[in-house]
Structure 1
Amino acid sequence: MAEACNNQGVYTLVEKLETDVEIKASAGQFYHMVARPHHVSKACPGKIRDCDLHEGEWGKVGSIVHCYYVLDGEAKMTKERIEAVEPEKNLISFRVIEGDLMKEYKSFLTTIQVTPKHGGPGSIVHWHLEYEKISDEVAHPETLLLFCIELCKEMDEHLLSEE
């Protein structure tokens, strides 16, 4: 948990959840798919129904992406702005600006970084979810983190099947 000062000078609690997922695909392959999430919907149609580029270019800072997904059996939508892109580090960040997550969170930022595994094939996908809940009654997004883990595994299987 970290304190952050909002624009009214009030301190808020920004919380985070993180996990690492080991995959067999290369860091570059996985990053390329994440930076162009319309490919993710082809790899994981049961989880990601569709991703549309609303504004800008795939994988470019400032671009706006709409994603339609299924979480806990419910259809959801998110509109995200790409906040950071570092291809040399296989890193990309998406900030939620509209959608279902904004009903429970004041802010939500997802950062994904993929690094090659040391001493062998495959990669490690690091997910970093940073968020501020609208109230203490709102649960931490653990089901979303599990969703991210499952998504990684399905994306990995898809990438390996293309080789």
Structure 2
Amino acid sequence: MALHGSIKIDLWIKAPADQFHNVFSARPHHISNASPEKIQACELHEGDWGNSGSVINWNYVHDGESKVAKEIIEEINDEKNFTKFRVIDGDLMKQYKDFTLLVQATPKDGGSLVHWSLDYEKLNEDVPEPYTLLEFCAHVTKDISTHLVAQAA
């Protein structure tokens, strides 16, 4: 069993790609408004919203448990609607040596195709693949889309 891995998912949503991207790149603290059962808070730890190099803290519920994560925004590409986060502290670091989340939205069929990629290195072979976290990302994506579409109506 490999310690390094990558899992991906593509989801079609009704929200425009640039609006969806803006939520993750510049306004992640608004995600709790769209998905309050999953995201309790997102707070700026250092830097500025919407800038690479900024550090943010997440409080979220995953697999029925309250969890925390501290992430650095490694890259924001507004032309490609792409944001890359690296987890640097929190619950995921109990099982993973390295964990990166990449999210990209591409305009498609009157909405967007959202691509998630979770790239990781497990601490040992007993650590499960993070499929439930990928499912969590998919649910949050759908919640954000519903929220954005409702705001536009």
Residues 39-81 of structure 1, C-alpha deviations (whole Å, 9 max, x = no match):
1011111000000001001121110000000001100000000
Aligned with 1:152 (options 141, 144, 152): 141
Structure 1 gap segments, 5+ residues each? 1-11
Number of the residue aligned with 1:32: 22
Measure, in 2, the Cα distance between the counterparts of 1:127 and 1:98: 20
What's the TM-score once normalised by structure 2's chain length? 0.96
Deviation beyond 2 Å, 4+ runs, structure 1: none
1:70 equivalent to 2:52? Answer no
Following TM superposition, by how much is the alpha carbon of 1:14 offset from its aligned partner in structure 2, in angstroms? Answer: 2.5
- CA drift at 1:141: 0.2
Does structure 1 conserve the Cα–Cα contact (< 8 Å) formed by 2:3 and 2:125?
no
**Structure 2 unaligned residues grouped into runs of 5+:** none
* Cα deviation 1:69-99 (Å, max 9, x = unaligned): 0001100000000111101100000000000
Displacement, 1:105?
0.1
**TM-score, structure 1 length as denominator?**
0.90
| TM-align CA RMSD | 1.3
Aligned length: 151
Query: How far apart, in 1, do the equivalents of 2:29 and 2:6 lie?
Result: 26
- Identity among equivalent positions (%) equals 49
Which protein, 1 or 2, shows the higher relative CO under an 8 Å CA cutoff with sep ≥ 6?
A: 2
Deviation at 1:34, TM superposition (A): 1.1
Bigger shift: 13-22 or 90-99?
A: 13-22
